[in-house]
Structure 1
Amino acid sequence: MHVVDLSLSSLELAVLRDLPALELQAEGVEPEALAAALAVLRDARGLKALRLRSRVRALPLALTELRGLQQLELIDHELPGLPAAISELTRLRSLRLELFHLASLPRSLAGLTRLRELYLDSHHLSRLPENLGALAELRSLTLLLRHLYLHDWERPAHFRPRFEQPLADLCRILGQLPQLSSLTLGEPDIASYPDVVFDRLPPEFAGLHALEHLTFTSLPHRVALPHGVVMPGVRQIDANPRRFDATEAELLAMFPNAQIDDS
């Protein structure tokens, strides 16, 4: 992947014209300079993958005009959300978001009907959109909720972040994704973490009929299993068996065909 640091150099279309993948480092530039650089990329017809490292409060709309993108990765500790026009990137197959202040996703995200991978890593995400099930091609979802309270001196009214969506509702939404075969869930691995989200799998989890690969990462607690639920389609579980509040027999009863990897 070709890397350009906008604080050191500008984009040259002659170099980028046939470049398939680009990492754009823009943490130290003004929003206007970032917008200008993204405008240049509109003529880079061969660009399929973009990794953008920035520190902005709003994404330039020029990003949503890069209609040829198939992979987009956004890394930003300031950005609170995505523009509704993100739905214009209809060729996206992979969307990876490492956004510290991301609080919610726009309903328009459901317009990315070719999306196969969605990676969410946020300290502030409160819920997933109810219409996420429209992503009929989505095969892989990673949901990392790093909801640790860090006082932000630039925002005196800064609130303690929480994931407010009931776990049963979250699982109903995931159950609407017909192709979802891989799911990764994680939250801070700290014993004093006050707002646990993934402390159990509700009965609604059984609605994930296409699920084959389940991963738990960095959990500070044990995960309780629902009674009477059997998911024979799950083939791989990446988690220490001691992470489950269940006996080996109960774990095997729910996931009779799963190989459990605790490495």
Structure 2
Amino acid sequence: MHVVDLAHESLELAALRDLPALELRAEAVEPDELAAALARLRDARGLKSLRLRSRVRALPPALAELRGLQQLDLVDDTLPGLPAAISELTRLRSLRLELFHLASLPRSLAALTRLRALHVDSHHLCGLPDCLRELQELRELTLLLRHLYVHDWERPAHFRPRFEQPLAALFLLLADLPALTSLTLGEPDNASWPDVVFDRLPAEIAGLHALEALTLTSFGRAIAMPHDVVMPSLRRLDAHLSRFDATEAELRRMFPNAALDRDPG
């Protein structure tokens, strides 16, 4: 992937015209400079993948005009949310959001019907919207909640960051995604009550009939498992057995065809 840091070099369209993938670093430039750079990329007809590193309060409208994009990665610790115009990027197959202040996803996300992979990494996310049900081709979902803070100044003054969506409602939503084969859930390993979100897997997980891979990362306590749930579709359970408040025999009954990890390392 070609990398351009706007703080040290200009965006030369002639060199990028046929480039399929670009990482654009704009953390140290003014918003109007970023807007101008994205406007120039409208003529980069071969650009399919863009990784944008920025520090802005709002994404320039020119981003939504890059309609040839199939992969978009956004990394920003200032941006509070996505614009509704994200719906213009209808060719997107992969969307990766590493946004410190992201609290919610726009309803216009429903227009991205070709999306196959969605990665959300945020300190402030409150829940996933019902419009996610429109993403019928979504195969991979990653949800990383980083709702704890090392420094007091990182915590917003106006609200306590918290994933408020009930787990049963979340998994009912995911059960309406017929192509979902891979699910990754994570939160800080030093989370304690009441900050823990994924303290259990609800019985509604049984509705994820196509799920083949379940990954659980950085959990600080054992996860309670539902009773009388069997998921024969699961082939890979990426989490050490000690992560679960269940015996190995109980896990094998729940996931009869999954490889289980006995190695704590």
Measured against aligned partners, the alpha-carbon deviations of 1:166-205 in whole angstroms (never above 9, x if no partner) come to 0000001100111000000000011546411111111111
Measured against aligned partners, the alpha-carbon deviations of 1:129-160 in whole angstroms (never above 9, x if no partner) come to 1121110111000000000144337x873422
CA 1:90–1:43 in structure 2 vs 1: closer, same or farther (change >3 Å)?
A: same
The DSSP-based 3-state class of the residue aligned with 1:216 is strand
Matched-pair contact (CA < 8 Å) for 2:148–2:191: no
- 1:256 maps to amino acid: P
- 2:123 maps to amino acid: H
Separation (CA, whole Å) in 2 of partners of 1:156 and 1:87: 28
- Which residue in 1 is equivalent to 2:239? 239
- Which residue in 2 is equivalent to 1:160? 160
Separation (CA, whole Å) in 1 of partners of 2:58 and 2:152: 21
- Which residue in 1 is equivalent to 2:141? 141
- Which residue in 1 is equivalent to 2:32? 32
Matched-pair contact (CA < 8 Å) for 2:191–2:219: no
Measured against aligned partners, the alpha-carbon deviations of 1:88-113 in whole angstroms (never above 9, x if no partner) come to 10010110010000000001111100
TM-score by length of 1: 0.96
Separation (CA, whole Å) in 2 of partners of 1:222 and 1:192: 12
Superposed, which structure 2 residues align to 1:17-28 within 5 Å?
17-28=17-28
- 1:213 maps to amino acid: A
Matched-pair contact (CA < 8 Å) for 1:175–1:209: yes
Matched-pair contact (CA < 8 Å) for 2:74–2:99: yes
- 1:147 maps to amino acid: H
1:248 Cα offset (Å): 1.2
Superposed, which structure 2 residues align to 1:32-181 within 5 Å?
32-149=32-149, 150-152=151-153, 157-181=157-181
Separation (CA, whole Å) in 1 of partners of 2:124 and 2:156: 16
1:10 Cα offset (Å): 1.2
Measured against aligned partners, the alpha-carbon deviations of 1:19-54 in whole angstroms (never above 9, x if no partner) come to 100000000011111000000000000000000000
CA 1:222–1:4 in structure 2 vs 1: closer, same or farther (change >3 Å)?
A: same
Separation (CA, whole Å) in 1 of partners of 2:99 and 2:152: 17
- 2:152 maps to amino acid: H
Q: What runs of 5+ residues in structure 1 fail to find an aligned partner?
A: none
| Residue 217 (structure 2) pairs with residue 217 (structure 1) | yes
TM-score by length of 2: 0.96
CA 1:191–1:98 in structure 2 vs 1: closer, same or farther (change >3 Å)?
A: closer
Instruction: Give me the CA root mean square deviation.
Output: 1.4
Moved more, 184-193 or 33-42: 184-193
Separation (CA, whole Å) in 2 of partners of 1:191 and 1:37: 40
Moved more, 192-201 or 220-229: 192-201
Separation (CA, whole Å) in 2 of partners of 1:197 and 1:77: 22
